[in-house]
Chain A
Amino acid sequence: AQTVTQSQPEMSVQEAETVTLSCTYDTSENNYYLFWYKQPPSRQMILVIRQEAYKQQNATENRFSVNFQKAAKSFSLKISDSQLGDTAMYFCAYTGSARQLTFGSGTQLTVLP
């Protein structure tokens, strides 16, 4: 079974600074997808960014980018120019051949003014 591990329960960053959230996963599959979801206090789950395992290029969405290390099974999220609205719980997630999402336990990010 696949597992997703987020080892940082809480993190904080100053507004306008850069922060990196860590995620590791375990799988025996070669083709899969990885995601970062954001959950603000409203509880709504919002897809931030996705990465396809067969693509070597790291995904980027505006201020959000990932560092995907397939051999190390590592998938970190970098948030640049942090904004107060980035304060949220961030979940790393995996989906493979079973087409089911497996989530990590989350990292609570607080952006400080």
Chain B
Amino acid sequence: NAGVTQTPKFRVLKTGQSMTLLCAQDMNHEYMYWYRQDPGMGLRLIHYSVGEGTTAKGEVPDGYNVSRLKKQNFLLGLESAAPSQTSVYFCASSYQRGGYNEQFFGPGTRLTVL
């Protein structure tokens, strides 16, 4: 049982390049999330999904797109990377269980945009 995994762990991009981050979970969770973490700040929600085929915007969605074609995968895309998107990205997943929403996190992806 691998939990939540993220691919890749590190990536360096040039401004204007595109890339996709992959998140996979094997816990059959309904909810999945993408966060970014910047120095001196907590995690901020980018996009999330409450089920296969559905996505919604979080606190900081601009410049990102997501897709949830399969229940176990949640993809985060950057179409035209900018230096402001240099950050550590975390994926998380959770059950839909009443009001309690424990999220299980992946190990993070460090992205640098030059």
A residues lining the B interface (CB < 8 Å): 4, 9, 31-33, 35, 42-45, 47, 50, 52, 91, 93, 95, 97, 99-101, 103-106
Contacts of A91 in B (CB 8 A): 42-43
- A44 in contact with B44 (CB, 8 Å): no
A105 with B48: in contact, given A33-B100, A44-B105, A45-B90 (CB under 8 Å)? no
Q: Determine how close the nearest CB of chain A comes to the CB of B46; give it in whole angstroms.
A: 11
Count, chain B residues at interface, CB 8 A:
22
What separation, in Å, do the CA atoms of A104 and B41 have in the docked complex? 7
Given A99-B101, A103-B44, list of 19 further CB < 8 A pairs? Answer: A9-B40, A31-B99, A32-B99, A33-B100, A33-B101, A35-B102, A45-B90, A45-B92, A50-B102, A93-B42, A95-B101, A97-B99, A100-B33, A100-B45, A100-B58, A103-B42, A105-B42, A106-B40, A106-B42
Contacts of A52 in B (CB 8 A): 100
Total number of A-B contacts with CB less than 8 angstroms? 51
24 contacts between A and B (CB under 8 A): A31-B99, A32-B99, A33-B99, A35-B102, A42-B107, A43-B88, A43-B107, A44-B105, A44-B107, A45-B43, A52-B100, A91-B43, A93-B42, A99-B31, A99-B99, A99-B101, A100-B48, A101-B33, A101-B45, A103-B44, A104-B42, A105-B41, A106-B40, A106-B42
B28 within 8 A of A: no
Q: Determine how close the nearest CB of chain B comes to the CB of A105; give it in whole angstroms.
A: 5
